[in-house]
Structures are given as structure tokens and as C-alpha cells.
Amino acid sequence: MAQSGNDIDALVREEMRLTAAETHAEAWAECVSAGIEPEIMAEAALDKALGELLRTNGEDATLAMLDKMREKVIAGEFESRSTRH
């Protein structure tokens, strides 16, 4: 059965998301090994991410993503993830 363009796009996007998450997890582990505190790593990562989003997508899209992430925090979606290695 043939997949639609939207299905393929969704699969590609999910693969990119998984690759990015794996890369971030490896970088996080390196920082932990170097003795960098999680709060410092998180702030640096957020600064970089928000700066890139602002540069590429603008303020409205960045604020929309922040709203989406805030709702995920409130919903407890991050509590089951292990971010410390």
C-alpha cells in the first residue's frame, strides 16, 4: 500500500526529531560528565533554541511554541522522561 506525501513527511519529521533527541541526550551526558549542572545546561539549551526559533520563525511562532511547551509541563508530560544520566 502506498503512503501519502503527508505520511512520508510525518515519518521523516519523526526520524529527525528522534535523531535530535538522541544527539541532545549525548551532549547532555557529556556535560554531566564534565560536571556541568543541569540548570546551566538547560538554560544554555533554551537560550540557543529560542534564539534560533526567533531568527528563523519570528516572535509569534516562538511564543506559540513556548505556550505549547508550557502546556506540556502543566500536563506532566516531561515527568516520565529521564533527563539526567
The reported pTM is 0.72
Listed by start position, the domains of the chain span 5-74
SS3 label, residue 3: coil
What is residue 54's predicted lDDT score, i.e. its pLDDT?
A: 97
DSSP letters along 14-57, please? HHHHHHHHHHHHHHHHHHHHTT--HHHHHHHHHHHHHHHHHHHH
Residue 64 pLDDT > 70: yes
Q: Which three cell numbers stand for residue 69?
A: 511547551
First to last CA, the chain: 41
Long-range contacts of 13-16 (CB under 8 A, 24+ apart): none
